[in-house]
Amino acid sequence: MFGKILSGLMSSSKDDGDSVSRRRFARRSGDSCVTIINGKIYPVENWSMGGLLIAADDRLFAVEESFEMTMKFKLRDSILDISHTASVVRKSQSRVAMQFKPMTKAIRDNFQQVVDDFVSRNFIDSQLT
């Protein structure tokens, strides 16, 4: 009897469309961020620990092409620059999706600092209103 209940719960959770995602990392779009590639600044539409989506002329980028980039995040009290490498995985009209190359611990820690700053800023704002 317990097995039937458990299997019923498991099958209903598999039917839930939210439980299956092809993305490994959650996207973030609330951060103030730009990226610099080849000396040109591009606005970041969203990013995750796996990559980013920029607003750019897609004709300037080729799929599988790799770029050195510097992402600039506006934190509460400072600007944080994170330099890393990414390759183009998709492009469409005025958008280019890039996947990060494997990260060092220092780069992951910098990205986590951005997330932590965003969470603490939202918490402070929620207490003031």
Q: What is the DSSP letter of 31?
A: S
Q: Does residue 2 fall inside a structural domain? A: no
Count the Cβ atoms, other than its own, within 10 Å of residue 15.
8
Average pLDDT for 57-64? 95
Residue-wise pLDDT for 76-129, tens only, equals: 889 999 999 999 999 998 999 999 999 999 999 999 999 999 888 888 888 887
Residue 125's pLDDT is what? Answer: 80
Q: Does residue 54 fall inside a structural domain? A: yes
Count the Cβ atoms, other than its own, within 10 Å of residue 119.
10
Q: Does residue 9 fall inside a structural domain? A: no
Q: Does residue 63 fall inside a structural domain? A: yes
CATH number for the domain harbouring residue 92: 2.40.10.220
Q: Does residue 78 fall inside a structural domain? A: yes
In angstroms, the Cα distances linking 21 to 15, 51, 67, 88, 112 are 13, 16, 27, 21, 22
74 alpha carbon, distance to own chain's centre? 15
Residue 7 has pLDDT above 50, yes or no: no
Q: Which domain holds residue 48?
A: 23-116
In angstroms, the Cα distances linking 13 to 6, 24, 27, 61 are 11, 19, 23, 40
CA distance 124 to 34: 24
Q: Is the pTM of this model over 0.95?
A: no
Q: Does residue 31 fall inside a structural domain? A: yes
3-class DSSP state of 89: strand
Q: Does residue 13 fall inside a structural domain? A: no
Residue 29's pLDDT is what? Answer: 78
User: What are the respective helix, strand and coil percentages of the chain, to the nearest 5?
Assistant: 35, 40, 30
Residue-wise pLDDT for 21-41, tens only, equals: 566 777 877 678 999 999 999
> What's the structural domain count of the chain?
1
Q: Does residue 12 fall inside a structural domain? A: no
